[in-house]
Amino acid sequence: MNQLIFDFASHDYPGFDKFLGTENAELVYVLQHKHGQFIYVWGEEGAGKSHLLQAWVAQALDAGRNALYIDAAATPLTEAALDAEYLAIDQIEKLNNEEQALLFAIFNRFRNSGKGFLLLSSEHTPQQLVIREDLRTRMAYCLVYEVKPLTDQEKIDALVSMAAARQVTIDPEIFEYLLNHWRRDMDSLMQMLDTLDNYAVTMGKRITLPLLRQLRRAGGGAAPSAPAHRAELADR
């Protein structure tokens, strides 16, 4: 039994080259090249916003810049962010009142000095955000882009390609089934494949659609609580 570890996600920030799909080509191009000081991206959960922010920060770090990525849902925004040349703040709808006041100050410092770049993300458009009104006025400085999700076929093609790159053949009907009976974002799809692989190892069977259905009947279809950091698929 040859088991291969799928490095679908790592602890290091991903690059733009790992961003899937073609619908966001213009946005990816803008982020990779010289652009204005303020950019705001929004889109549904799982569309790839965090990936883009992390890739942007990684690009700046590789260029020797002082760059910082903050996930507002998990990490406080502190005054240390004032020193960043490139600052990415994910899920800005999660900022508390004090953090919103700090972001307002960051906007002003960057704009008044003409130095510093700010990349923000949310599931909501700027108009839909529940935030301080003075901060909302600063959103008018931003170029705004919608991050469009992958199509179903792009998700299937990506998952099949990830398997094929490691010489593992997975029938596309498994991915089609997951898209119809499972959460549709890529993190959840990859975590389900990890769960399926572990189940296949335990059962001593190949990964097949009947095995996936058996797993779901056995209670293995509960919604995942966190994104997968890896997915292991086996060539059995």
Q: In 145-185, which ranges are continuous DSSP H helix?
A: 152-164, 172-181
Question: Are 28 and 127 in a shared domain?
Answer: yes
Burial (Cβ within 10 Å: 0-12, 13-18, ≥19) of residue 186: buried
Q: Does one domain contain both 122 and 47? A: yes
| Residue 216 belongs to a domain | yes
Tell me if 136 is assigned to some domain: yes
Q: DSSP letter at 74?
A: T
Whether residue 37 contacts residue 118, with contact meaning beta carbons closer than 8 Å, is answered with yes
- CA neighbours within 13 Å on the CB side: how many for 30? 19
Tokens encoding 16: 């733009």
How much of the chain, in percent, has pLDDT values that exceed 90? 44
For the stretch 40-79, pLDDT in tens is 999 988 788 999 999 999 999 999 999 999 999 999 999 9
Its domain, for residue 56, covers 22-146
Check whether residue 177 and residue 142 sit in a common domain: no
Q: Do 140 and 155 reside in the same domain of the chain?
A: no
Query: 116 lies in a domain?
Result: yes
* Choice between 29 and 198, residue whose per-residue pLDDT is larger: 29
What whole-number distance in Å separates Cα of residue 65 and Cα of residue 229?
27
The least confident of 84-93, 134-143, 196-205, 225-234 is 225-234
